[in-house]
């Protein structure tokens, strides 16, 4: 079925935008992608109208209705398109609860440590420790959820895969920038191999950004922040 | 038929209360384990090794953690008295506003509670801005869920109990009926609902607890 007016306001560099794109790709839903300069302080009128509360990307526009917050969007896609292949959330309520639990852990507990690393001054060691500890927790979760298959979702990419997978571009930037080996096969073999599979999956391979492009982008945004006047 | 439901909670956790509210609205029987969070039980640590927190709902021996995750689990497992709307867009809106509550509303109200002077004025303005969105969402409705209590009402339920407690301790008005008529009415309707009313923790204990939580901030204040 044609896109019937599906638009994504997002950015190639944003993991939150990436996860929406990957999910739409998984479900073979056509959409128009509109790149927003979200890091600039003056947001486009289009973005402010679509997301007046947060003025942030991503926003999914479907049948002229706007939905914001990436995890809300992912669940909406699952529920609004019911004949586009398997749901990204599992069908069993308990498995769905586990998927939502890990998505929340990844977004609210684990990824903030990576952001903290960026701002760190002296306490990098402790933060890196937390990041590794979190990866061990996620490795265990991967083993339990995948049950020997390729993805957290089993045979197919599922909710947790998309949530964690959308951060892989930035994880590689941090590895490069800080000289770390986060996706270390000797410590987290399951996740390391999963990451390779995820990045080469048809739905994700053109969405997860290349490391060098992201590094350039990061430096450009930092320069913009330094050059712009305060406030 | 016993559903083998066990809820690990503390006496005051607003997150645990969300689960209590949902279970009662669905008419479900459950066992309660009240945890002393300064002395967590082996069961708690086993069921929630990631966060070591309450609430934890154990259903047929399997734990579910994180209150909003638990709410969705309850709604998907027991179909009576649905908590989330049926329509995908309305469900998305309910989840959006619940996240707004967690990320913006609660932190901004907490900031008002623990700050003083000029800082508090700034915090009040911020909180008021957030509350205006909730006021808008309630226009023409008794509950966020419409005629009956739903997911979003339960997500915001902490306000119906805690706001007046914080107001009393800090001697200020966060939500007045003139500025926020719909929100004020909602707080009363929610708090007085027969299913909800019997669950509130003892007010004097709550006042004592939150006074103690505020102390360190007063000491470091200007």
A55 reaches B (C-beta below 8 A):
no
Task: Give, for B86, the enclosing helix (H) or strand (E).
Answer: none
Mode of pairing for the β-strands spanning A7-10 and B5-9: unpaired
Residue B221's pLDDT is: 63
Q: What's the average model confidence in pLDDT over B74-96?
A: 98
User: Higher model confidence: residue B79 or residue A226?
Assistant: B79
Contact criterion met (CB below 8 Å) for B186 and B152: no
Which pLDDT does position B2 carry in this prediction? 57
Give pLDDT, residue A118.
81
Question: In the numeric block, which tokens belong to residue B24?
Answer: 């009662």
Distance from CA of A215 to the nearest CA of B (A): 29
What are the tens digits of pLDDT across the range B145-164? Answer: 999 999 999 999 999 999 99
What value does the CA radius of gyration of chain A take, rounded to a whole number of Å? 18
Percent of chain B with pLDDT over 70: 98
- Over chain B, what is the mean pLDDT? 96
Which chain B residue is nearest to residue A69, measuring alpha carbons? B96
Residue A1 has pLDDT above 50, yes or no: no
Residue of A nearest to B78 (CA): A93
| Contact residues on chain A for B69, CB-CB shorter than 8 A | 97, 100-101, 104
Q: Is B109 helix (H, G, I), strand (E, B) or coil?
A: helix
- Residue B143's contacts (CB-CB under 8 Å, 6 or more residues apart) are B149, B150, B153, B186, B189, B190
Task: Kindly indicate the confidence band of residue B42, based on its pLDDT and cuts at 50, 70 and 90.
Answer: very high
User: What's the pLDDT at A42?
Assistant: 82
* Beta-carbon count within 10 A of A212 CB: 11
pLDDT of residue A223: 83
pLDDT at A4 over 70: no
Structure tokens at A55: 């003025």
β-bridge mates for residue B8, sequence order = B33, B56
First to last CA, chain B: 59
Nearest C-alpha neighbor of A75 from the set A16, A142, A20:
A20
Nearest by CB: B64 against A53, A69, A97: A97
Give the residue numbers in B contacting A (CB under 8 Å), as ranges: 50, 59, 62, 64-66, 69-70, 72-73, 76-77, 88-89, 91-92, 95-96, 99-100, 133
Range in A12-21, A40-49, B99-108, B152-161 the model is least confident about:
A40-49
CB-closest option in B69, B88, B91 to A101: B69
Chain A: residue nearest B50 by CA? A137
The verdict on a CB contact (< 8 Å) between B96 and A67 is: yes
Among A16-25, A220-229, B85-94, the least confident range: A220-229
Per-residue pLDDT tens over the stretch B12-31: 999 999 999 999 999 999 99
pLDDT at position A3 is: 46
Nearest CA in chain A to B91: A76
Confidence check: pLDDT of A2 > 50: no
Q: Which of B40, B87, B95 is nearest to B69 (CA)?
A: B95
Q: Can you tell me the mean pLDDT for B71-79?
A: 98
Residues of A in contact with B64 (CB under 8 A): 94, 97, 101
B131: chain A residues, CB-CB within 8 Å: none
Kindly list the residues from chain B whose CB atom is less than 8 angstroms away from the CB atom of residue A67.
89, 92, 96
Burial class from Cβ neighbours inside 10 Å (0-12, 13-18, 19+) for residue B128 reads middle
Residues A193/A143, Cβ–Cβ less than 8 Å:
no
Longest pairwise C-alpha distance within chain B: 59
CA distance B92 to chain A (A): 6
Q: For residue B23, what pLDDT is reported?
A: 98
8 Å CB contact between A75 and B92: yes
Q: Which among B88, B100, B133 has CB closest to A79?
A: B88
**Chain A, 106-165: which have a CB under 8 Å from a chain B CB?**
109, 137
- Residue A228 is predicted with a pLDDT of 62
Helix (H, G, I), strand (E, B) or coil at B162: helix
- The secondary structure of residue A4, as a DSSP letter, is S
Cβ distance B50 to A105 less than 8 Å, yes or no, reads yes
- Between B101 and A222, name the one with better pLDDT: B101
Please indicate whether, in this complex, the C-beta atoms of B69 and A94 are within 8 angstroms of each other: no
Q: Is A5 helix (H, G, I), strand (E, B) or coil?
A: coil
Q: Which residue has better confidence, A149 or A42?
A: A149
User: How many other C-beta atoms are found inside a 10 Å radius of the C-beta of residue B186?
Assistant: 24
Q: How confident is the model at residue B114 (pLDDT cuts 50, 70, 90)?
A: very high
Predicted complex: ipTM over 0.90 = yes
If one counts every other C-beta atom within 10 angstroms of the C-beta of residue B130, the result is: 18
pLDDT at A230: 47
* DSSP annotation string for B14-74: HHHHHHHHHHHHTT---EEEE--TTS--HHHHHH-TTT--S-EEEETTEEEESHHHHHHHH
* Per-residue pLDDT at B50: 97
**CB–CB contact A96 B92 (8 Å):** no
HSE of B207 in the Cβ direction (CA atoms, 13 Å)?
Answer: 10
The per-residue pLDDT for A225 is 74
Summarised one tens digit per residue, pLDDT across range A29-61 is: 999 999 998 777 788 999 999 999 999 999 999
When scoring B4, B22, B76, B88 by the number of chain A Cβ atoms within 10 A, the one with the most, hence best to mutate, is B88
Please give the pLDDT value at position A231: 44
Following DSSP, what letter does each residue of B132-145 receive, concatenated? HHHHHHHTT-SBTT
Sign of CA dihedral B146, B150, B151, B152: positive
Chain A hits for B73, Cβ within 8 Å: 93-94, 96-97
Sign of CA dihedral B23, B27, B30, B36: positive
Predicted confidence (pLDDT) at residue B213 exceeds the cutoff of 70:
yes
Sheet holding B62-65, edge to edge: B31-34, B5-9, B56-59, B62-65
């Amino acid at each position: 079925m044609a896109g019937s007016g599906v638009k994504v306001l997002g950015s190639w560099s944003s993991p939150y935008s990436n996860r929406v794109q990957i999910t739409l790709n998984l479900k073979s839903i056509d959409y128009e992608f509109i790149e927003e300069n979200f890091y600039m302080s003056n947001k486009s009128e289009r973005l402010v109208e679509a997301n007046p509360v947060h003025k942030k990307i991503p926003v999914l526009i479907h049948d002229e209705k706007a939905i914001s917050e990436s995890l809300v969007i992912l669940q909406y896609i699952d529920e609004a398109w019911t004949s586009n292949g398997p749901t990204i959330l599992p069908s069993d309520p308990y498995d769905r609860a586990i998927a939502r639990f890990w998505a929340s852990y990844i977004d609210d507990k684990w990824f903030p440590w990576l952001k903290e690393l960026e701002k760190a001054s002296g306490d990098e060691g402790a933060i890196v420790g937390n990041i590794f500890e979190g990866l061990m927790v996620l490795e265990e979760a991967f083993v339990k959820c995948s049950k020997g298959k390729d993805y957290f979702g089993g045979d197919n990419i599922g909710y947790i895969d998309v949530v964690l997978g959308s951060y892989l571009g930035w994880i590689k930037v941090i590895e490069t920038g800080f000289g770390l080996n986060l996706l270390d096969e000797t410590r987290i073999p399951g996740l390391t191999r999963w990451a390779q599979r995820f990045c080469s999956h048809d739905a994700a391979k053109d969405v997860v950004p290349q490391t060098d492009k992201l590094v350039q982008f990061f430096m450009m945004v930092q320069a913009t922040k330094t050059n712009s006047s305060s406030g | 038929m016993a559903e083998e439901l066990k809820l690990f909670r503390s006496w005051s956790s607003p997150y645990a209360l969300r689960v209590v509210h949902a279970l009662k609205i669905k008419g479900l029987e459950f066992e309660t384990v009240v945890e002393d969070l300064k002395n967590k039980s082996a069961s708690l640590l086993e069921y929630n090794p990631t966060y070591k927190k309450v609430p934890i709902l154990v259903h047929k021996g399997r734990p579910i953690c994180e209150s909003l995750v638990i709410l969705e689990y309850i709604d998907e497992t027991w179909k009576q008295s649905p908590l989330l709307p049926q329509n995908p867009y309305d469900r998305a809106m309910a989840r959006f506003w619940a996240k707004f509550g967690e990320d913006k509303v609660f932190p901004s109200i907490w900031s008002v509670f623990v700050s003083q002077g000029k800082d508090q004025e700034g915090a009040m303005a911020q909180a008021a801005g957030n509350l205006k969105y909730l006021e808008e969402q309630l226009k023409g409705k008794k509950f966020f869920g419409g005629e009956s209590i739903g997911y979003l009402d339960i997500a915001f339920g902490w306000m119906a109990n805690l706001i007046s407690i914080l107001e009393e301790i800090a001697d200020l008005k966060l939500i007045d009926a003139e500025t926020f008529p719909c929100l004020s009415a909602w707080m009363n309707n929610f708090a007085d609902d027969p299913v909800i009313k019997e669950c509130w923790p003892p007010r004097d204990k709550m006042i004592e607890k939150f006074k103690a939580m505020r102390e360190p901030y007063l000491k470091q204040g200007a």
